[in-house]
């Protein structure tokens, strides 16, 4: 096997600026405007404070994956609107102390939850693994499933026709 070649770093000598004889020392006194000589003073400076926006973006939001990485606290405000409703183009969602509402691009309310009463209205289908309710009314009181009174009632708009359970 051939002998390995060893490389050593080159030594670079200091080269002074043109018309300068050597490196400048920071230990020398400097001349002031009154022909007085003294050491130049450097004012002490505090470390810079962190900027909230840069810290927030780096540690709490991932703008590339569009993910929230940390918890946020909401302050008390009037309302929050997500999206900008434009007829035929886009819908929006509104959260306020009075409740939550959403509407589709045609302007129809897709769901609404009343913050005062707790009433909820949904335009679409509701799916759940389990549904617990005391009373379910279908249509205009045509079918009533009353869990509290333990009975089913089918009505033909005038009379109760089918009664199952306690009466």
pLDDT for res 26 = 57
Contacts of 104 (CB under 8 A, 6+ apart): 91, 110, 123
Contacts of 112 (CB under 8 A, 6+ apart): 99, 100, 101, 102, 120, 121
Alpha carbon of 29 to those of 32, 35, 37, 139: distances in Å?
9, 12, 6, 96
Domain-located, residue 69: yes
pLDDT for res 33 = 62
Domain-located, residue 15: no
Domain-located, residue 27: no
In the numeric block, which tokens belong to residue 121?
């209205």
My answer on whether 74 and 109 are in the same domain is yes
My answer on whether 57 and 115 are in the same domain is yes
Domain coverage including residue 57 = 52-122
Total domains in the fold of the chain: 2
Using an 8 Å Cβ cutoff, are 127 and 133 in contact?
A: no
Helix/strand/coil for 135? strand
Return per-residue pLDDT of the chain as tens, 167 residues: 678 888 887 887 777 776 666 555 555 555 556 666 666 677 788 888 776 565 556 677 777 888 888 887 777 777 888 888 999 999 999 998 889 999 999 999 999 999 999 999 999 988 888 888 888 888 887 888 888 888 888 888 888 877 887 76
- pTM as predicted: 0.46
Domain-located, residue 117: yes
Domain-located, residue 32: no
**Would you tell me how many other CB atoms lie within 10 Å of the CB of residue 111?**
15
Strands 109-114 and 99-103: antiparallel
My answer on whether 60 and 100 are in the same domain is yes
Domain-located, residue 62: yes
pLDDT for res 51 = 67
* H helix count then E strand count, the chain: 1, 13
Using an 8 Å Cβ cutoff, are 112 and 103 in contact?
A: no
């Amino acid at each position: 096997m051939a002998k390995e070649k060893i490389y050593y770093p080159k030594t670079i000598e200091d080269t002074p600026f043109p018309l300068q004889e050597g490196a400048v020392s920071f230990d020398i006194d400097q001349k002031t405007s009154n022909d007085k000589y003294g050491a130049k003073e450097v004012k002490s400076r505090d470390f810079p404070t962190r900027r909230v926006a840069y810290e927030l973006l780096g540690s709490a939001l991932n703008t590339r994956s569009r993910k929230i990485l940390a918890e946020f606290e909401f302050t008390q405000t009037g309302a929050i609107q997500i999206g900008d409703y434009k007829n035929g183009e886009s819908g929006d969602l509104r959260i306020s102390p009075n409740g939550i509402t959403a509407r589709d691009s045609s302007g129809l309310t897709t769901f609404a939850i009343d913050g005062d009463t707790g009433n909820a209205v949904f335009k679409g289908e509701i799916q759940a693994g389990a549904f617990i309710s005391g009373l379910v009314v279908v249509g205009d009181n045509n079918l009533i499933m009353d869990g509290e009174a333990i009975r089913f009632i089918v009505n033909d708009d005038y009379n109760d026709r089918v009664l199952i359970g306690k009466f």
